Structure 1
Amino acid sequence: MKQLRLLALAAAALTPMSAAAEEIDMILNWVPTADHAPYFYAVEAGWYEEAGITLNIEAGRGSGAAAQRVGAGISPIGVADMATALVAKSKGADFVAVMAVYANSPQGFYWLKSNGISGPADFAGRKIGNPPADASRVMWPMFAQEVGIAPDSVRFVNVSPQAKLPSLKSGAIDITSDFYNEHDLKVREFGDDLGFVAWRDIGVNPYGNAVIVNAEFMKDNPDTVATFTKVTQRAFKACVENVEPCLDALLASVSGLDRQNQRDQWNRIKELMRDDTTTSVALGAFDDSRMAADYRMVETHFGVEQPFDVKAVYTNALLDLTIKMAKE
């Protein structure tokens, strides 16, 4: 994480610093991959710096951890799965979501058909491998109820993001959760033996990743947050139009990534970013009815320790409404 911060600062240093630039830490949901490329691109291009922001990008350890960190004010800005963030909000995390990155849930489960699993009904008695703070662990009871199995019928095994595929291949785990982003990598690795179910395909489609901001920071720094949001939205638009410069920025800052894999990821990410709201209202915009449904989902499946008005935890007001998500 320290390396990422230094790289982000070094990239920003290549452009003239605006007067009184404000240094801001941004915690990601995971280690950086293609879905984070727009932030690195905007840093390298000097867009944040020109707007008076020096952005420090830090790798994350899961949406749950990122939501808690932003909610507590440890990091003023972050990226987190929205449903997971709502669970954190019900436990006291204080944040406002300013931009939806994934209009569709990226959550999915992967397995090998040769292990005798044909679908979620066969998950009972199996081992699911993922990191402790993985969003799918938080949301597992909801998924289990939807597919008709007991939530306690599986055993979760702690597996790092990098170890998911090797663990599945070796048989150390039977199933792993992962974002749709890396679907192509798994298809190349396992071919026809790969089993997959997308949460959205079984009717579970809460918002995925979103940019969230600590509520107190937003209250004290409204202009900074507004500027950050518009620059970020502009960066995502640029990457949708031409991802190659964005991949250049990502690969220059993060070691160990394969360019073709990241390009494949980005093509999947564009599918997740696209819905009627992001193509007609604005790229990154939330839909009120969907957010209300997401709150009901959290209330039904996880309980709400501290009830809250869901309309208070997201806003479209900071988005540039002239920027739309491409329809194709």
Structure 2
Amino acid sequence: MKKTGLKKLVAAFATVSMLAACGGGDEEDSTITVGLTYIPDVQFFPFYVAVENGYFESAGVEVDIRHHGAQESLFTALATGEEDVVFVSGDEVLFARAEGMDVTSIMTLFSEYPSTLIVPQDSDIETPADLEGRSVGLPGEYGSNYFGLLAMIDAYDLENVEVESIGFTQMAALSRGDVDSVIGFVNNDAVAMESQGFDVRTIDLAPDLPLIGPGLAVMEENLGENEDEHRAIMAGLQKAVEFAEENPEEALDIVTKYVPSMTDPEVREAATLTFNATLPLYVGDGKVGTQDVERWEDMSEFMVDAGLIEELVPVDEVMTTEITG
């Protein structure tokens, strides 16, 4: 499969790799800074709840939350030591590792990969196999949605699908009929469309998708010295998710401190849909924070076959089970 469209991503990883050589955090600072991507969002509710309810502190770690800037590369702050931990998809960690960045996944937080195929409710597309001769839109040829697209094409041996980079305009493009389908996040794009009155359906990308969703990653050099803090973060998130299961409205009230626009009833209603779609992803089989070694191996093989990376990345280099047990 083609590598087209990954040049920007490769360049970004190369840049942060160079920064890592001259960066570093303050070893005397016991506070762990967790990087969450871009703007505050309800999907990060366990982190907000754990901070506000003192779950991190009671587990033995002080956590500062930092949201990335809109133009900031995913791993820059981690590489320079401005962040100690970053919320990132497993596939992006593996891709970065293949490009020479010493980043390691310490836990997977989403039990399922969140990317999905989205079609209008009345579409005759029932499975990805129906995409032959049709079009699919996605933000661009990079990141989790792109990796998911390639996995879908591979799983169904699709040969005639028109792929269009449409930026973050999935709803507009789909509702206008510019594309027949889009790739988006089941807990974000799909529920946003529903909340705005556009009826859609979601379709799994593949039966056994060889990709790993969001979790937490660190620079390899910080693995051993911060194991206790990393376990404490996992424990704090576990308590936060349990609290949210039992007290959803209270959890949403906490999120509102970080997302002030949720004081608007309509925004709160839309956020509730995202919350309801995201909670099961964190809950999984009841334990927050896992590592599936076999799935990591499958993902490495898939990314080689897809032409995303040149050679297999040994699983013990890109992830650890020391924190999740």
Does the alignment reach a TM-score above 0.5?
Answer: yes
Letter in 2 for 1:126: S
- 1:221 corresponds to 2:226: yes
Letter in 1 for 2:106: V
Aligned length: 290
How far apart, in 1, do the equivalents of 2:93 and 2:307 lie? 12
Letter in 2 for 1:102: F
Aligned equivalent of 1:308? 313
1:87-98 equivalences under 5 Å are 87-98=95-106
Aligned with 1:55 (options 51, 64, 70): 64
- 1:137 corresponds to 2:146: yes
For the Cα contact (< 8 Å) 1:48–1:55, is it kept in 2?
no
Aligned equivalent of 1:298? 303
Letter in 1 for 2:293: D
For the Cα contact (< 8 Å) 2:241–2:283, is it kept in 1?
no
Aligned equivalent of 2:25? none
Decide whether aligned partners of structure 1 residues 58 and 124 sit closer, same or farther in structure 2, where only a CA change above 3 A counts: farther
How far apart, in 2, do the equivalents of 1:91 and 1:100 lie? 21
What TM-score do you get using the length of structure 2 for normalisation? 0.73
What TM-score do you get using the length of structure 1 for normalisation? 0.73
The residue matched to 2:40 in structure 1 has which SS? coil
Q: Displacement of 1:88 after TM fit?
A: 1.9
Decide whether aligned partners of structure 1 residues 306 and 256 sit closer, same or farther in structure 2, where only a CA change above 3 A counts: farther
Aligned equivalent of 1:247? 252
Cα deviation code 1:273-292 (max 9, x no counterpart): 455xx44xx43122332222
How far apart, in 2, do the equivalents of 1:68 and 1:307 lie? 24
How far apart, in 2, do the equivalents of 1:151 and 1:140 lie? 13
Aligned equivalent of 1:10? none
How far apart, in 2, do the equivalents of 1:213 and 1:103 lie? 20
For the Cα contact (< 8 Å) 1:89–1:95, is it kept in 2?
yes
Decide whether aligned partners of structure 1 residues 208 and 86 sit closer, same or farther in structure 2, where only a CA change above 3 A counts: same
Taking only aligned residues, the RMSD between alpha carbons, in angstroms, comes to 3.4
Cα deviation code 1:16-62 (max 9, x no counterpart): xxxx8634432224543333001111222234456452413204769
For the Cα contact (< 8 Å) 1:98–1:229, is it kept in 2?
no
Decide whether aligned partners of structure 1 residues 308 and 126 sit closer, same or farther in structure 2, where only a CA change above 3 A counts: closer
- 1:169 corresponds to 2:175: yes
Cα deviation code 1:177-232 (max 9, x no counterpart): 221114444345223xx2431225x3325321111122223344343333333323
For the Cα contact (< 8 Å) 1:127–1:157, is it kept in 2?
no
**Percentage of matched positions with identical amino acids:** 17
Decide whether aligned partners of structure 1 residues 52 and 114 sit closer, same or farther in structure 2, where only a CA change above 3 A counts: closer
How far apart, in 1, do the equivalents of 2:166 and 2:67 lie? 25
- 1:180 corresponds to 2:186: yes
For the Cα contact (< 8 Å) 2:166–2:173, is it kept in 1?
no
For the Cα contact (< 8 Å) 2:138–2:183, is it kept in 1?
yes
Decide whether aligned partners of structure 1 residues 272 and 48 sit closer, same or farther in structure 2, where only a CA change above 3 A counts: closer
Letter in 1 for 2:183: S
Decide whether aligned partners of structure 1 residues 230 and 313 sit closer, same or farther in structure 2, where only a CA change above 3 A counts: farther
1:244-283 equivalences under 5 Å are 244-257=249-262, 258-273=267-282, 275=284, 278-279=285-286, 282-283=287-288
Cα deviation code 1:92-128 (max 9, x no counterpart): 2222222221121111121336677565333656351
Segments of structure 2 that go 5 or more residues without pairing to the other structure are 1-27
- 1:236 corresponds to 2:241: yes
Aligned equivalent of 1:112? 120
